[in-house]
Amino acid sequence: MGSQRICCGLSNHLELARRPDLYGNPVVVGDWEEHVVAASEETLPFGVMPGMAMRQAEHLCSQATFLPPDPEAAAHLRELISSALYDLAPTVEVRVEGIAWLDVSGVPKPGESIREARRRLKTAIGREPRLGLAPGPFSARLAAARARPGRILQVDNARTFLAPLSPHELPLDAEQLERLDLLGLRTLGAVAAMGPRELESQLGRAGRHAVLLAQGLEPDELTPWRPPLFTSAHRQFESSIEDREALLFVSRALCGDLAEELGLRGAGAKSIRVRLFFEDGGQERRDSVVRHPLSSAAELFGLIGSWIKEWQPHAPITEMWIELPVLEGAGRRQLRLWAGGDGTSEEVAAALERLQERHGDEVVHMPRPHLLSSPLPAQRFA
């Protein structure tokens, strides 16, 4: 019986999630001379699938809305979702394919984290995600794919759950899947019954990996998302400006954008930089390190606005940048996983042991009282 430690929230590809106004309609995303990157559920009855030629998709479902991909927008949405989920579990991974994984092992109240993850995913993508809870990423994703929107499917024994499913769920290419069919392996249970070395001799390393997945052994680890420690916002003016009020108006808007991003990341700016670019090719900048991290639009604009009011630009301005080179890491938000008295000493000890198992003994340090009467803080504990 496997332990449930990975929650998967499954939604449409983030290329589709960036257009919630089209939910409920057939939508296909891809370049015309390329293949389908993403397709909404409404296109499935017509036979449209990711990876097929766009021309074929148009022939199968001409009534669909066809959109070019915007990888930058999808990646930005992935960052926002990762940041929104970051304080709910020690490890979070989000992919643009619309998969969000949370490792809830060690979380004192995993049910609360999962319910909050569902709410935040719904807010981010505009519709209910499907949820799966299982021993590892592979089984959790397949469980989520079989759950109803807004509901969770729990898997206790991964091998039993996977056994009747198709080998097409494995990360194998068409030729490898055809080889499985020729070998008579038409379920994951049949693949699991093969020895890893036997299938490795047929498919190479991918065969060994496939057997381990089918056996529910979950060889793949999540790739933890880490909050970025730098961000910026800028505005390039169509025509050069000299009016100080216009510059204040733009800087206020940029501060609002940055504050929204900092709020999602749970971070604060410890350093502020403003750069102005001029019509004659020159530039000026001003920097400051702040005593307390700034995170709200009012705090940011309070400082930057005062700079602009004092500035005496030597030429018309063509571009403005506000940069936050040093952020207070959003990792501080994960302290909530330990706070509130909702974890017993045994649970905390178990979580520390998991950290040591995953990252080595040196990752955890436990202070012991030493020379408590010493005037030097460093000597009071060992």
HEC string of 118-130 equals: HHHHHHHHCCCCE
Name the more confident of 143 and 340: 143
**Quick one: pLDDT at residue 102?**
97
In the chain, % of residues over pLDDT 70: 88
Alpha helices in the chain (DSSP H): 14-17, 54-60, 71-85, 110-125, 137-145, 158-162, 174-182, 188-193, 196-203, 205-214, 244-265, 297-310, 345-359, 377-380
- Show me where the domains of the chain are located: 159-214, 231-330
Residue 40 pLDDT exceeds 50: yes
Residue 342: band (very low, low, confident or very high) from pLDDT cuts 50, 70, 90: very low
Task: Tell me which range, 40-44, 137-141, 294-298, is most confidently predicted by mean pLDDT.
Answer: 137-141
Residue 353: band (very low, low, confident or very high) from pLDDT cuts 50, 70, 90: low
Task: Tell me which range, 134-143, 348-357, 365-374, is most confidently predicted by mean pLDDT.
Answer: 134-143
**d(C-alpha 363, C-alpha 355), whole Å:** 7
Residue 146 pLDDT exceeds 90: yes
**Quick one: pLDDT at residue 348?**
61
CA-derived radius of gyration, the chain: 26
Quick: pLDDT tens for 202-246. 999 999 999 999 999 999 999 999 877 788 999 999 999 988 999
**Quick one: pLDDT at residue 147?**
97
Quick: pLDDT tens for 86-101. 888 989 999 999 999 9
Q: What are phi and psi of 52, to 5 degrees?
A: -80, 165
What mean pLDDT is predicted for residues 1-15? Answer: 84
Find out whether 96 and 14 touch, Cβ atoms under 8 Å: yes
Q: What are phi and psi of 17, to 5 degrees?
A: -65, -25
Amino acid at 247: L
**d(C-alpha 120, C-alpha 112), whole Å:** 12
Where residue 30 falls (left for φ over 0; alpha for ψ -120 to 50; beta otherwise) is left
Residue 284 pLDDT exceeds 60: yes
**Quick one: pLDDT at residue 227?**
77
Name the more confident of 179 and 313: 179
**d(C-alpha 293, C-alpha 295), whole Å:** 7
Name the more confident of 321 and 314: 321
Residue 45: band (very low, low, confident or very high) from pLDDT cuts 50, 70, 90: very high
Residue 358 pLDDT exceeds 70: no
The pLDDT mean for the chain works out to 88
Residue 65 pLDDT exceeds 90: yes
**d(C-alpha 240, C-alpha 314), whole Å:** 13
Residue 380: band (very low, low, confident or very high) from pLDDT cuts 50, 70, 90: confident
**Quick one: pLDDT at residue 61?**
95
What's the fold here for domain 231-330? Dna Ligase; domain 1 (3.30.1490)
Where residue 94 falls (left for φ over 0; alpha for ψ -120 to 50; beta otherwise) is beta
Model confidence, pTM: 0.69
Tokens representing 45?
Answer: 């009855």
**d(C-alpha 43, C-alpha 346), whole Å:** 50
**d(C-alpha 150, C-alpha 7), whole Å:** 13
- 71-85 vs 244-265: helix axis angle to the nearest 10? 60
Class of domain 159-214: mainly alpha
**Quick one: pLDDT at residue 107?**
86
Q: How far apart are the first and last CA of the chain?
A: 41
**d(C-alpha 24, C-alpha 26), whole Å:** 7
Name 317's Cβ contacts closer than 8 Å, sequence gap at least 6: 237, 240, 241, 242, 247, 276, 277, 278, 279
**Quick one: pLDDT at residue 338?**
55
**Quick one: pLDDT at residue 1?**
39
**Quick one: pLDDT at residue 177?**
95
**Quick one: pLDDT at residue 331?**
47
**d(C-alpha 244, C-alpha 340), whole Å:** 48
**d(C-alpha 292, C-alpha 24), whole Å:** 46
Which among 256, 206, 258, 197 is positioned nearest to 233, based on CA atoms? 258
Name the more confident of 208 and 330: 208
